[in-house]
Chain A
Amino acid sequence: MRFPGKGYILILVAFVACGGCASPDRIVLLPNADGSPSAVIVKTASGERVIDKPYEAVSVNRSGDISRDKETPDTVRARFGSALDAQPQRAATYVLYYLNGKVIMTPESRAIVKKLKDDLKTRSAPEIIVVGHTDLVGSDEYNDELSLERAKDVQEILIATGVPADLITISGRGKRDPAVKTADGVPEPKNRRVEISIR
């Protein structure tokens, strides 16, 4: 049996709820993988809103009106499952340590190279990003050069063990990004390192 009257009301309700426009845009904050706090600031023609808790969401209609919303892992899955499944594998980072003022790897660090090569096999269109660092002894120029030399050293070792050269990108960040914060001029073994990120 059909109820044309009821169908008519349903259409009317749908029209009112949507305001006669296309479906709204939606922004959802997810928890950070490392659990650190985060936020997204949403600006539109008619206002601004900050979402800063996991699964907080806003929807924005065509006129820029923002309304608060709440998602759950299940609703996120239903709406964004395909996008989340397409996410590239996350980067893994390996750290190799170097002797003071030198481009010589510590003996323990050599073992990591094998682990790294196994990881490489699991990835689609892999990239290897090699970034050299130094401790805070010496000038910026000296450390920029030394950090790059360390990165080149790792590059050569990787190529020698059969990693295709065109996958590798190297750079040196000098003393800009110490793993352990120290005053300038302080020798620190943990800062004399090369970080290899595979993604």
Chain B
Amino acid sequence: MSSVKMKAIAGLIMTFAIAAAYADDDAGLVKKVKGDATIQRGERRIPARPGEKLLVSDRVMTGADGSVGITLHDGTLLSAGPNSTLILNKFEFNRTTNQGALDATLKRGTLAVVSGKLSKSSPDAVHYRTPTSILGVRGTEFLLEAGGN
């Protein structure tokens, strides 16, 4: 086999590997946006718009007039108020078993949470963090404020 062909095949395999990784990272969907709201994904900054995907490791940021509402695939509703930074550290959800894990950090600002299926099926694998605290959840709606510096 020629090296050109080899490279082409290697490239193809890489493409599939990346596509698969993205599908696994897919965590939710932006539903509602007001004012300035962006998603930082690695080096990229994407405007948060309704219909935009949220991936694991994304950092969601709102400006002084901004807010954003997100639905995760297990039905969890996350909505952040102005001047907020929210990071989705981890999200796994198996649609057949409803098992998985969720870990999110509110670095600053305000966040409203309505828990989804994961907090029922995998309650010990669901954690929310602020700069000072780690929260465990027992099937709930709650609010977080991170004072920031």
Task: Chain A residues near B112: list those with CB within 8 A.
Answer: 80, 83-84, 86-87
Q: A25-B144, A41-B136 are in contact. List 13 more A-B contacts (CB 8 A).
A: A24-B147, A26-B143, A29-B140, A38-B138, A40-B138, A82-B110, A83-B84, A85-B34, A86-B79, A87-B79, A125-B51, A173-B98, A199-B75
Complex Cα–Cα for A102 and B140 (A) = 37
Of the residues B31, B139, B144, contact of A36 by C-beta under 8 Å? B139
Ordered by A's residue number, 15 sampled pairs between the chains whose C-beta atoms are within 8 Å are A24-B147, A25-B131, A25-B144, A25-B145, A25-B147, A40-B140, A41-B138, A60-B130, A79-B110, A80-B112, A80-B143, A82-B81, A85-B79, A125-B51, A144-B96
Nearest CB of chain A from residue B86's CB, rounded to whole Å: 10
Please report B residues at the A interface, Cβ cutoff 8 Å: 29-34, 50-51, 67-71, 75, 77, 79-82, 84, 95-98, 110-112, 114, 130-149
Task: Chain B residues near A173: list those with CB within 8 A.
Answer: 96, 98
Complex Cα–Cα for A43 and B136 (A) = 8
| Cβ-Cβ contact count across A and B, 8 Å cutoff | 161
Complex Cα–Cα for A30 and B134 (A) = 18
Residue of A nearest to B34 (CB): A86
Nearest CB of chain B from residue A124's CB, rounded to whole Å: 5
Complex Cα–Cα for A153 and B101 (A) = 30
Interface locus among A5-13, A88-96, A109-117, A183-191: A88-96
Report if A76 contacts B (CB, 8 A).
yes
**By the criterion CB–CB under 8 Å, are B110 and A83 in contact?**
yes
Residue of A nearest to B115 (CB): A38
Of the residues A33, A62, A174, contact of B141 by C-beta under 8 Å? A33
